[in-house]
Structure 1
Amino acid sequence: MITALDKNTALVLIDLQNGIVQLPLAHPVSDVLANASKLVEAFRKAGLPIVIVNVNPAGAAWTKARKDSNPTAGAAFKEDWLDIAAEINTQPGDIFITKHTWSAFYETQIDEKLKEKGVTGIVLAGISTSIGVEGTARDASERGYNITFATDAMTDMFADAHHNSLKYILPRIGETGTTDKIIEVLG
């Protein structure tokens, strides 16, 4: 349940990029993108910061670590794999972050850029709920940000992972609610 948003809240969209939105996902990506787009427009109207995060795992240390399944080992990405989906109306004044791990805070400048703008709260959405969104949320929480999750503007490759994050993890980190409720509270 969403009770409030900080006066200085930023929208942080995780991995809504061509290479990710084309994967088999648990929920219709068109719904996720439509809700994320509504959030972008509401934050723009309110004059609040928008952070667009994409992921480029190529060459990251974790991709070289031994594990049973290494989905990116030796993978060559299509030319537009990193590009943000066309449904998301990015603007030059947005903050653009490329991460190489699950969290948008690990070895990036997101924390510094948010602090420069006096941001104390973030609204998180994107793909995957249990990876990029949850990883970013954990790090944001450790840095003291108040976090709100747009539950209908995120999905995962696995429905049970999405459900686990929404039911057990994210409510322990912040408040959860729909895009429309967030926009209403943003007012």
Structure 2
Amino acid sequence: MITALDPKTALVLIDMQNAIAAIKGAHAFDGIVEKTKQLIDAFREKDLPIVFVNVNPIGQAWTQKRADQPSQMPKDEEGIRAAKKNWEENGLGNIISQLQVKEGDIMVTKHTWSAFPNTNLQSELQKRGITGIVLAGVATSIGVEGTARDASVLGYNLTFANDAMTDMFLEAHDNSIARIFPRIGEVDTTEAIVAKVRELA
């Protein structure tokens, strides 16, 4: 349960993009859009940073590794080129239009589960003096949890909007919410988090 927010807190939204919205079987993706908009509105009211993270895993080394559930990403050069072309032509990396990215928002493209490795996220947060992060997005057990684990190691105070994130698998979502996030931060509803944001000076 949320007890406080740091005065210097950023909203970090994970993979709320066209490619993810189109995945069949994503657990209640449409249901989190309105909650995400409420978070965005509250952070804009207080002129606090909003970070939109998208993912582009095409051709990345981790997608080529052996696994019991291998990546669906192409592994041959021709397939990778075709996938990159399709990605660009169809705007699959674009943040969904309902969230209305604005000038001054921070844009981060990640290539792994976490938004920190080999991106500008840490430097953008540091130069703004950010000490707290509110996390939301997709998928709870992958992009959100991956980013949260790294943020925790880096010393950020973390808050998780449990009704503004979702997963392809409900049991994976529930595991992150109940067993992982409470160990590295505070978990609460969008409504409770928005109330705390509005209390900030």
TM-score tier, shorter chain, comes to: over 0.9
SS in 2 for 1:87: helix
Match of 1:8 in 2: 8
Q: CA deviation at 1:89?
A: 1.7
Gaps of 5+ in 2: none
Work out the number of aligned pairs and report it.
187
Alignment of 1:10-159 (within 5 A): 10-25=10-25, 27-68=27-68, 69-74=70-75, 76=83, 77-78=86-87, 79-159=90-170
| Mean Cα deviation higher: 166-175 or 29-38 | 29-38
Q: CA deviation at 1:58?
A: 1.0
- Contact preservation (8 Å) 1:13, 1:52: yes
- Contact kept? 1:124, 1:149, Cα under 8 Å: yes
Give, in whole Å, the separation in 2 of the partners of 1:57 and 1:70.
10
TM-score by length of 1: 0.96
What is the root-mean-square deviation of aligned Cα atoms in Å? 1.2
Report % sequence identity. 53
Q: Is the 8 A contact 1:26 1:159 kept in 2?
A: no
Greater Rg, structure 1 or structure 2? Answer: 2
Secondary structure at the residue paired with 1:54?
Answer: strand
CA-CA distance at 1:61 after TM superposition: 1.1
The alpha carbon displacement at 1:26 in A equals 5.1
Deviation at residue 120 of structure 1 after TM alignment = 0.2
Question: Would the alpha carbon gap of residues 119 and 25 (structure 1) be closer, same or farther in structure 2, given more than 3 Å must change?
Answer: farther
SS at match of 1:184: helix
Higher helix share: 2
The residue type equivalent to 1:173 in the other structure is I
Deviation at residue 180 of structure 1 after TM alignment: 0.7
Compute the TM-score of the two structures, normalised by the length of structure 2: 0.90
Give the Cα separation in 2 of the matches to 1:92 and 1:138: 29
Q: Secondary structure at the match of 1:182?
A: helix
One-letter code aligned to 2:119:
T
The verdict on how the C-alpha distance between 1:21 and 1:122 changes in structure 2, with shifts beyond 3 A counting, is: same
The one-letter amino acid paired with 2:10 is A
Give unmatched runs, 5+ long, in structure 1.
none
Aligned partners of 2:10, 2:34: CA distance in 1, in Å? 18
Amino acid of the residue matched to residue 62 of structure 2? W
Structure 1 SS opposite 2:7: coil
